[in-house]
Every structure is written in C-alpha cells, then in structure tokens.
Amino acid sequence: MDLRSESPFWLMRSGIIRPYPSIRQSYSTDIAIIGGGISGALVAYYLSKEGIPAILLDKRQIGLGSTCASTSLLQYEIDTPLGKLSKQIGTKKANQSYLLCIDAIDKINKITDSLKSDAGFSLKKSFYYASNKKDVDEIKTEFQLRKNIGINLELLSGNDIERLFPFSAPAGLLSAVGGQIDAYFFTHELLKSSIDSGLKVFDNTDVVKINHHKRGIELETSFGEVIKAGKLIIACGYESQGYLSKKIVDLNSSFAIVSEPSTTKNIWYQNSLIWETARPYLYMRTTDDNRVLVGGKDEPFYNPEKRDRLIAKKAYQLKKAFGKKFPDFDFRIDFAWAGTFAETKDGLPYIGKVREHPNTYFALGFGGNGIVFSQLAAEIIRDILIGKKHIGEGIFKFDR
C-alpha cells in the first residue's frame, strides 16, 4: 500500500533517526511482532518491560509507514462523540472507552518521562467547538455526559470563545486533558529502550508468509529466513486488513500543512489542540519548535496518485481555513503532505485475536485517536500475554 506522500514534516525534520539491520538468519523466539510503526514499537516496549523475548520486523524502514505522516494529536475525545458512541456500543462501554483514552495519554506522558526524551510530547488542553448553531445541542449534551463520568472540562459560550480565541463559534468544550507528540521520534525512542532490554529489530524485512500452527507461528521473510515464535502480534497499521477476512475499515485521504516556526510563544490560547464538530473536521496544533500544524480536508477515497496530486490544492484550502480563524498569523507553508487514513464504524480500534488465526493478536489503532489506541493495544496485549485481565479487551475485540 502507498500510505503517504514523500515529505511529511516529522520525517523531513529528523531524517532516518537510527539504522536497523535487515534480517540475516532464522530465529526462534517467544513473540514476533510485524510492524515497526508506533503500534509495534509500543507493544515491543511493554513486552520488553516484562522481560519477554521478542523480535520486531518491518518491511520498510522503521516509522516510515503511517507513523511519520501522523499529525500526532493525543486526544481522549474519540472521533465518535460520547453520546453517539453510547448509542452504538452501550453507555458503560462508551464511558470506559473515553476514560481509557484519558489514562492512555497519562501513560504516554509517563513513558516519555522514563525514556528521558520527550519526543516532542507535551500535555495540552483540547478545544472542541461547534462548527455551526445546529451543533450547540450536541456540545451541551457532550458536556453533561462527560462531566457525569468525571472528565475535567468546561462548557464555553460564544462570548467565552471570543474572549479566548480570535474567532467565534456558538459553543465549545475546553477539556483539561490532551497532548501532542512527534510519533515518529517516539517510535525510535521506544525501540532504542526496548533493544537495550533485549528486543531484536529488523527493518527492510518483508514478512511474505505466515503459518499459524496450534502450538505457535512461523513467519517467512522475502529473504527466505524463518522466524518461529509462540505468539504473533500484527501491528501492520492500515495494511493489517490484508490479514483479515472481514472488512473493518474505510480508507480516506487526509492532508496536513506545517508553518515556518513562529517567534510568538503562545500562538493561541495555551496552544491547545483545536478541532470541531463538522465532519470531516479541521484541526490544529502547535509543534515543539513552535510551528502551526493544520490538518483535515479529508477525501473519501484510497487512491495514492489522486491523493498526492491534491496536495497543493488542499494545502491552499487548509491555509485559507486557518487564516479565517487566525487572520493575524502570517502562515507560510514549510511542509505539506498527504496520508491514507482509516476509520472504523464506531471510531474504536480493533485489538486482540480473531478466530481464524490462532496464537495471533492484532494491535490496530485506527481513526483520529490512532496513537492513543496504539498505547491501549500495547497494554491490552501485554496483559493478555501475562494472563492479566484488561477492561479494554472486551470493548475493542473484533466480534463486538
């Protein structure tokens, strides 16, 4: 699959962070992980903390799938609002999903602390505004539902919004919990730490065949090496659909631009994450080197050539949409890129096993919360492997 255009900001900024070898011999280990993006790296990190021997393989270079194209907002707010999600999966599970995402952001915060490399991470408030008057009721309902389960947030009126931001909206929610990161850099930092604890990582290593056995799995690479393992974790991002008989995602194309660094420290109110009720939504964040990142203008197709041909047009539209909200900011586009983006029917990830593949677990974080879901996937899979119950296992399972 062609997952992204050539020059996403994070990849251009950091380049190839660390080299990893391709595989040169056959291996036998406890756990094999296919996929060296943020999902595979987090799973590997959690397993290495448990001292579980594992090997991680990626057919590209590490992080060069969707991860380096990610705009990397960390939100507890799932693409499906809590009220709507409650109707889809039940109130209890919907509430738990939101609360698990809050916890996941906290865990990412703690991991970046322990890695002694912030990987561009910082905690941010999250501002979700009503794109038009008809969405005010949704905002009010969301406020109540979230407040009822103890989420720390404020309901903002039109006047409040005009006081805090240079644009108007009829209502909004300002949540205390949110974060942002450089997922590409974070992936490499996670792997560095895991390698120090015994993980083996090979990139440019394509897994071309998987044999699922009752007692374990066997992988074959395009070089002819064979990896025998007790269990397999598939963390192949949007390409994981190829291992499933049931269609679980819709593929879209998404676009993003990044400005030149600004000399203003607080570009807007607390440099919060900003997004809206409209679908597809426009969203904004700042970066650790004080740039503005704007994303959205999604198109409902998977066609990489068509997607990349649209970059200049979409960059112009994103800049214009941003300019309407922040007319005083001189937005000079430094980077513009496009990526394929997958959504599920309820906005939730798929984590765990499928009946057709014994000894295999999937770590599939999809949608606008992909990274937060990768964190949850890593915890859940770790818990399954060490025989511990995780509340998310039943919520994000395949046959839900």
Ligand X SMILES: Cc1cc2nc3c(=O)[nH]c(=O)nc-3n(C[C@H](O)[C@H](O)[C@H](O)COP(=O)(O)OP(=O)(O)OC[C@H]3O[C@@H](n4cnc5c(N)ncnc54)[C@H](O)[C@@H]3O)c2cc1C
Residues of this chain that bind ligand X (CB under 6 A)? 3, 34-40, 57-60, 64-67, 69-73, 183, 206-207, 235-237, 239, 254, 256, 295, 339, 341, 365, 368-372, 374
Q: Which is nearer to ligand X, 67 or 262 (CB)?
A: 67
Q: How far is the CB of 281 from ligand X (least distance, A)?
A: 11
Q: Are strands 171-175 and 126-129 parallel, antiparallel or unpaired?
A: antiparallel
Q: Which helix (H) or strand (E) holds 335?
A: strand 333-343
Q: How far is the CB of 34 from ligand X (least distance, A)?
A: 5
Q: Which is nearer to ligand X, 59 or 171 (CB)?
A: 59
The β-bridge partners of 28 are 228
169 close to 282: Cβ distance less than 8 angstroms:
no
Q: Are strands 27-34 and 226-234 parallel, antiparallel or unpaired?
A: parallel
Q: Which is nearer to ligand X, 4 or 171 (CB)?
A: 4
In whole angstroms, give the CA distance from residue 302 to residue 339. Answer: 10
Q: Which is nearer to ligand X, 36 or 171 (CB)?
A: 36
Q: How far is the CB of 56 from ligand X (least distance, A)?
A: 9
Q: How far is the CB of 279 from ligand X (least distance, A)?
A: 15
Q: What value, to the nearest 5°, has the Cα angle with vertex 181 and ends 100 and 119?
A: 120
Q: How far is the CB of 242 from ligand X (least distance, A)?
A: 8
The DSSP 8-state label assigned to residue 4 in this structure reads B
Q: How far is the CB of 163 from ligand X (least distance, A)?
A: 27
Q: Which is nearer to ligand X, 76 or 171 (CB)?
A: 76
Closest residue to ligand X, Cβ-based? Answer: 370
Q: Which is nearer to ligand X, 251 or 391 (CB)?
A: 251
Computed from CA positions of residues 337, 63, 80, 136, in that sequence, does the dihedral angle turn out positive or negative? negative
The two structure tokens encoding residue 156:
């903002």
The β-bridge partners of 351 are 363
**Residue 154 phi, psi (nearest 5):** -120, 145
343 close to 250: Cβ distance less than 8 angstroms:
yes
The DSSP 8-state label assigned to residue 63 in this structure reads T
Q: How far is the CB of 144 from ligand X (least distance, A)?
A: 26
Q: Which is nearer to ligand X, 37 or 120 (CB)?
A: 37
